[in-house]
Amino acid sequence: MDKKLFASAIVKFLSGVILIALPLFLSAGSFGYWNTWLFMGILFIPMFIGGLILMKKNPELLRKRLDVKEKQSQQKTVVALSGIMFLSGFIVAGLDNRFQWTKIPEWLVITGAVIFLVSYGLYAEVLRENTYLSRTIEVQENQKVIDTGLYGIVRHPMYAVTILMFLSMPIVLGSWIAFIIFLTYPFIIAGRIINEEKVLEESLDGYKDYKEKVKYRILPFIW
């Protein structure tokens, strides 16, 4: 086992727990905000299990997923906007719970949790299909175009899945106001997708042909 990679993964994992728990519980003013416990359970338990699997079977992919340092200024802006969306959405969700501005029924919260877990499963499938995936936009040595599985349906299944995943988050947290904030994510990620495709067209052999074969980016028959 790569001890340095393992330590880095644990630090990132614990940092994620803290960065999500703090704004939610502090803004809610209580550890009794049960939606947060549900959300953290469906987020971090699969994440921990998935990390262990990657550590054993594909440590290089795990290393790439831990690297979040974007080189392009446009992508740094996308990352910053996404961070603002998450932070403001979590704070608003906690405040919404504290002051009861809006309320999502429990059956819909549970439905949101199921959608989130299904999205997580699809996320894992994308990682299985494309071992070149990293958190930054880059073309790697010997990288090939993947055009089977989910990549045969849309060109960016990872982003399609994360949109579904992120839009289910505020539902699990029980806040319609936070849901409105998270609705900005598809628009934020659209700019990243357009920029990424330019990089891939210029640097990845066969990508232009792939675009002709698979017409849609994230949603069949729409975009």
All domains in the chain, ordered by first residue? 3-213 (1.20.120.1630)
Q: What's this model's pTM, rounded to 2 decimal places?
A: 0.86
For 66, residues 6+ apart whose C-beta sits below 8 A from its C-beta are 5, 8, 9, 12, 135
pLDDT at 139: 56
Higher per-residue pLDDT: 143 or 72 = 143
d(CA 61, CA 133): 7
Q: What is the pLDDT of residues 4-56, one digit of tens each?
A: 888 888 888 999 999 999 999 999 999 999 999 999 999 999 999 888 888 88
Question: In angstroms, rounded to a whole number, what is the distance separating the alpha carbons of residues 49 and 80?
Answer: 28
Structural contact between residues 197 and 208, judged by C-beta atoms closer than 8 angstroms = no
Task: Answer whether 186's CB lies under 8 Å from 126's CB.
Answer: no
Per-residue DSSP letter, 160? H
For residue 135, pLDDT over 60 is answered with: no
The residue that leads in pLDDT, 151 or 182, is 182
Q: CB within 8 A of 198, min separation 6: which ones?
A: none
Q: In whole angstroms, what is the distance from residue 63 CA to residue 85 CA?
A: 26
Give me the pLDDT at residue 171, please.
98
d(CA 78, CA 99): 31
| Element at 155 (helix H, strand E) | none
User: How many Cβ atoms from other residues are within 10 Å of residue 168's Cβ?
Assistant: 25
How remote is the C-alpha of 202 from its chain's centroid? 26
Is it the case that residue 134 has pLDDT exceeding 60? Answer: no
Distance CA 139, CA 200 (A): 7
- pLDDT attached to residue 208: 86
Select from 84, 156, 88 the least CA-distant residue to 123.
156
pLDDT of residue 71: 59
The span from the CA of 160 to the CA of 163, in Å, is 5
**What pLDDT is recorded for position 52?**
85
**pLDDT higher for 68 or 78?**
78
* pLDDT, position 62: 77
Provide the pLDDT confidence category of residue 73 given band limits of 50, 70 and 90: low
* Per-chain mean pLDDT for the chain: 87
- Least confident range from 41-45, 132-136, 203-207: namely 132-136
User: What letter represents residue 114's amino acid?
Assistant: V
The answer to whether 172 touches 109, Cβ cutoff 8 Å, is yes
Which residue would you say has higher pLDDT here, 170 or 69? Answer: 170
Buried b (16+ CB within 10 A) or exposed e, 101-125: eeebeeeebeebbebbbebbebbbe
